Structure 1
Amino acid sequence: MTWATQAKQYEQALINDLNQIIRIPSVLDVKTQTPQTPFGIDMIRALSQMEAFASRDGFRYGRVDNMVTWIEFGPQDAIETVGILTHIDVVPAGDGWLRPAFNPEILDGLYFGRGAADMKADLMSAYYAIKMLADQNRLLKRKIRLIIGTDEENGWRDIPRYIEQEGEPTLGFSPDGAFPVINGEKAFQTVQLRFPSISNGTYILERFISGNRPNVVPGEAKARIQVPHGVNLVQDFDNFLQQQPFLNGDAQQIGQTVKLSLLGVQAHGAYPADGKNAGTYLAHFLSHYDLGGDARAFLDFVGITIHQDVYAHGLGLAYQDAQMGDLTLNVGVMRYSNHGQGTILLNFRYPQGVNLQAVITQVQRHLNGLQATVNQVQAGMPPHLVPVEDELVRVLSDVYAKQTGQYLPPRTSNGGSYARLLKRGVAFGGQFPDLKVTSHQANENIPVVNLTKTMAIFAESLWRLCQ
């Protein structure tokens, strides 16, 4: 019996457990943050649910500072460990869902729900891969640890804490990327621009807001503008939308006050070309009007200099490495409040050959009148690369080729997975090639058949890595 055939027998049980995890809205919640619930109460609920599964199935498990749960199978005294680094937190649901984001559904062979693609389904496929090995009483030489974090979508404060207390696995993978093996990950760094926001001119920008996370392409933007007497901005906005059929929006004008709302296409910030940035499009529309002062500089920078510029040509940062690919830019957060302070968060993904200081310097050189201070946000991560000759890369590549009938060479990703926290760590699954990426998007989904297909690949990979 093949690995895939064996895994298929677990499909309904896997779906049932996945449903329970998807229903928990494990989004960072500052309102319920305490020393006992460092990222909010729903994160604790999600970890507790995974521990309930582990208890039910007879696995060893533990928790680190209410940030990480680990689940273990294999010889307890084994010197070496194969780690599977995952996370159970998700980004906010956002707008545009056809059905409730935290009420999982299967429609036309697709499993829908926030976290289906990133990465609760792959977490459960990994869990069930371990369960299948345990059910078959497989004897391992290395032990396996499924390591479940709760802060991947925000500050990465969880897995470093785990490694500090529990130690670093000998080698491992994170099913938070794509197949085949991703042995290289670009650096990622968020840069913050802070600037005064005083508007003057014929038109006055009162407020502009778009985006919630630097690693998400904003799907919505809103603005409030004061316009001169007799100006009908609503008609201009309607004409703009007609010229951009991939955008939707709404305009309301009462007297001289205009409220604009624009819907673009939300996407993962690692792949900004997959989205349509609502914030930069709205800024581009407004940049054609007589707004002065800081509003002028803000709209020119966001709406012209970096609008539709995912490779950062406008910042003088266009760069490509032969092994790791292009530098990319996502404009993740835009805020402007008249007589307040404005903020822009730029999320960069860059290969070896680029460094943070070069990024900051180039941003400073291309502000074009925007009186902004430029600083990094948090620590970021340097580029990460595991040689293709490493046992880990060789085994995972071979298993994928064997089970799919197609060999694909290891590659580099724009995404950042927890695998980069291990010296010998790679991203591996569960996005299959040629499948549309729906991570961080409305109506996030994966094909149901991929649940056990991924599970089978993980199971054989773990088996071989533990021999």
Structure 2
Amino acid sequence: MTWVRQAKQYEAALINDLNQIVRIPSVLDPKTQTTQTPFGIDMIRALSKMEELANRDGFRYGRVDNMMTWIEFGPADAPESLGILTHIDVVPAGDGWLRQPFNPEVLDGLYFGRGAADMKADLMSAYYALKMLADQGRILKRKVRLIIGTDEENGWRDMPRYLAQEGEPTMGFSPDGAFAVVNGEKAFQTVQLRFPSISEGPYILERFISGNRANVVPGEAKARINVPQGMLIAADFADFLEQYPFLEGNVQQVNETVRLTLFGVQAHGAYPADGKNAGTYLAHFLQQYPFGGDAQAFLNFLGTTIHQDIYAKNLGLAYRDQEMGALTLNIGVMRYSHRGQGSILLNFRYPQGVNLQAIITQVQRHMGELAAEVTNVQAGMPPHLVATDDELVSTLSEVYAAQTGQYLPPRTSNGGSYARLLKRGVAFGGQFPDVKVTSHQANEFTPVANLTRSMAIFAESIWRLCQ
């Protein structure tokens, strides 16, 4: 019996267990953060559920600082190990869902729910790959650890703690990318622009809000403005929406106060071309009016300088490396409050040949009238590359080709996975090339058939790497 047919027998059980994980809204929650719940109570609930499954199925397991859970199979005293690096946290659901994001459903062969693509489904496929090998009584020479984090979508404060306490696996892969093998990952860095926000002139920008994560293309933007008496902008906004049919929005006006809401297309910030940034589109609309002071500078920067500029050409940062590809830019968070503090978060993904200082310098040079201080808000990650002739890369490539009948050469990704924290770590699955990418988007889904397709690929890969 083939790996695929063996895995298919586990489909119903896999979906049942996956449902339990997806129902837990494991989003970073500052309101319930304590020393015992470092990223919120729902993260602990999610880790506990995985430990419950591990206990049920007879695996060894443990926890690190209430940030990570590991589940182990194979000889405990093996000198070499294979790590499967995953995370159970997800980004906020956001707007635009046609179904409840934390009430998973299967419709027309598709599994819907937050985490279906990134990455609870792939976590469960990897877990069931271990379960199938254990059920078959397979004897491994390397120890395998499924390592589950809770801060991948935010500050990556978890995996370094694990590696410091438990040590680095000999090699590893993270099913947090795409098939076949992603042996290179671009650097990523978020920089913040902070500036005064005092409006002047006949139009006053009272408030502007869009986005809540640097690594997500914002799908919604809101603004509140004061306009001169008798001025109506509803007709202009209607014309704007007609010009851009992929956008939706509404406008409310009471006397001189106007409230605007614009809906774009949310997407993963690693691939900004997949989304329509509601924040920069709303700024693009508003900049036609005579705002003054910091408001006009803010709107011009968002609405012209970096609007639709995913390769940062207008910032003087257009750069492409032959091996790793082009630098990209996502504008993830935009805030403006009259007589307060404004800020913008820019998330860059870049190949070898670019560095943080060059990014900061070029942003400073191209801010126009925006009087902003530019700083990096957290430690970024350098470019990561594993040689194509490494045993890890070649074996995973061979398994994927054997099971799918299609060889795909190793490649570089804009995304960032925990695999980059290992000297010999690559991203591997579970996004198949023929499936729409819905990570971080509303109505996130994965085909049901791919749950066990991924499981079969992971199972054979583990077996071959650990013989």
TM-score bucket of the superposed structures, by smaller chain? over 0.9
What do residues 186-218 of structure 1 show as CA deviations (whole Å, max 9, x unaligned)? 000000000000000111100000000000000
Partner of 2:322: 322
1:281 matches 2:299: no
Partner of 2:157: 157
What do residues 359-399 of structure 1 show as CA deviations (whole Å, max 9, x unaligned)? 00000000101000000011010000000010000000000
The 5-angstrom pairing of residues 204-219 of structure 1 reads 204-219=204-219
What do residues 341-368 of structure 1 show as CA deviations (whole Å, max 9, x unaligned)? 0000000000001001000000000010
The 5-angstrom pairing of residues 106-121 of structure 1 reads 106-121=106-121
1:206 maps to amino acid: E
Q: TM-score, normalised by structure 2?
A: 1.00
1:332 maps to amino acid: G
State how far apart, in whole Å, the 1-side matches of 2:272 and 2:109 are.
27
1:407 matches 2:419: no
Shift of 1:440: 0.2
2:262 maps to amino acid: L
Partner of 1:379: 379
1:79 matches 2:79: yes
Q: TM-score, normalised by structure 1?
A: 1.00
Partner of 1:93: 93
Partner of 1:343: 343
Partner of 1:272: 272
SS at match of 2:225: strand
What do residues 212-248 of structure 1 show as CA deviations (whole Å, max 9, x unaligned)? 0000000000000111122111111111111110000
1:196 matches 2:157: no
State how far apart, in whole Å, the 1-side matches of 2:123 and 2:305 are.
40
State how far apart, in whole Å, the 2-side matches of 1:245 and 1:24 are.
35
2:260 maps to amino acid: L
State how far apart, in whole Å, the 2-side matches of 1:31 and 1:57 are.
34
SS at match of 2:260: strand
State how far apart, in whole Å, the 1-side matches of 2:192 and 2:80 are.
41
Partner of 1:426: 426
Shift of 1:85: 0.2
Shift of 1:459: 0.1
Partner of 2:187: 187
What do residues 265-313 of structure 1 show as CA deviations (whole Å, max 9, x unaligned)? 0000000000000000000000111000000110000110000000001
Shift of 1:314: 0.8
State how far apart, in whole Å, the 1-side matches of 2:303 and 2:362 are.
18
1:304 matches 2:304: yes
State how far apart, in whole Å, the 2-side matches of 1:201 and 1:233 are.
17
Partner of 1:128: 128
Partner of 1:232: 232
Q: How many residues end up aligned between the 2 structures?
A: 467
Partner of 1:245: 245
Shift of 1:434: 2.6
1:42 maps to amino acid: D
1:237 maps to amino acid: F
Partner of 1:436: 436
SS at match of 1:66: coil
2:230 maps to amino acid: G
Partner of 1:13: 13
Shift of 1:99: 1.0
Moved >6 Å (runs of 4+)? none
1:129 maps to amino acid: A
Partner of 2:33: 33
Partner of 1:103: 103
Partner of 2:260: 260
Partner of 1:365: 365
2:267 maps to amino acid: A
RMSD over aligned Cα, in angstroms?
Answer: 0.4
Shift of 1:428: 0.1
State how far apart, in whole Å, the 2-side matches of 1:192 and 1:391 are.
40
2:14 maps to amino acid: L
State how far apart, in whole Å, the 1-side matches of 2:253 and 2:235 are.
10
SS at match of 2:377: strand
State how far apart, in whole Å, the 2-side matches of 1:390 and 1:330 are.
32
2:69 maps to amino acid: T
SS at match of 2:121: helix
Percent identity for Structure 1 against Structure 2? 80
SS at match of 1:262: strand
Structure 1: gaps spanning 5 or more residues? none
State how far apart, in whole Å, the 2-side matches of 1:168 and 1:303 are.
45
